[in-house]
Structure 1
């Protein structure tokens, strides 16, 4: 009987020793499965990110149209032509981009301050509207290569101008018109004592200046010159307030492939940009006709 008990105890001890030795091995073999799962999750996230970074071109081609968001109140870059349809430098560039993609161009004309929210809300594929590159805007959109350099200028009345020169000091305490949401608007918001009146377009601000409701208008160089060219009562100072660059914008992190096409077209058109700008300046100011 003692021999039997001893044998049983021996077997039990052997089983215990085997179990104790084999348990860590089981844990070690299971442990690598957690990193594997994590790697799979990381790969899935990377794939998802890659999917959102591109694919815009395929969607555009599938839809058969490229949707441009703009504000057609910013000559010569965008304005309404004789047929009341948007035209201008940016519109011609956009048409070349659409041609490069082999699709139709659809132009959506809207208020300037609503362009980036509309872009990020999926209302269009890109923005071209004499849009200045700023750090704030870079937080919400991806910019193309720059294609034009501009300045903020001061428009005043020819007779008895209320602002003596294009300086911050001369703008202090004055009533100044700007286009809502533009860099001119941002600039004037920091001028001490100035009363800033925001307009949907610089053209409207120019009209109010001519009618004596403003002391000055602050707006980009070529739009300023276009406004003055169409109103004999106004003039623009030669001195500049700022220097800035224009670029086109796409939704941030979602349209790298479209941005590549835009940059290609901008490069291809770089040699004709000056002539294109002069053409639309002349058209808007009435010194040329569309037929020319």
Structure 2
């Protein structure tokens, strides 16, 4: 089965990694599941003979189904930086749902899953055990996608119009750089700010302010990792910050490094790759 690969993920923080030892791939879902699923993903690594590697990401406002080793779990939106120590040889297979799109499956406010993981069985029942076993035993990622879609397709709920609107609104925040304040988002949604907060908590699992800031900092990390990275004042202004100090504070609080340090580490990693 042919599935298109998707471009490199956003939100993966730069860390030096051994050449050819880590592979991260993403694939589009079938057309009938596109309303719910953003993509399938897999990370494989072989670090035998290498020191452990700390992998870090700035998560998106999305729920993931994650299959690894002997477990399958549902990961709610992670409000903080996610980090994982990779060592030895292994792989992870995942399903990333679009923003808000897991709420019809959960049938409860997505805020109940924020910063939590629960078993696949707690939402999908005993039948999900067979899915977990089949995916963990299957080395071919394309076959894993078929197994997952065949399982999810008969269980697919209706997509309520309010959830679809919230999904599309969050996805617009990811690409529309002009939306930098919650008041703008409330006006776009035709809701009072307080009502918008409640809708986001129930459907997305986090606040609109969190989503705006997270996408701004995704963009900041992307730009700072480039060879032509802008200066801090220009970048802060572009991302809608009133001053450079607030941008630096927010970036460091989330990423764990000041933007200048992050840019310097990315430049050092580029130089190391170029010298090989």
TM-score, normalised by the number of residues in structure 1:
0.22
Choose between structure 1 and 2 for higher RCO, CA contacts under 8 A separated by at least 6 residues.
1
The structure that has the greater radius of gyration is 1
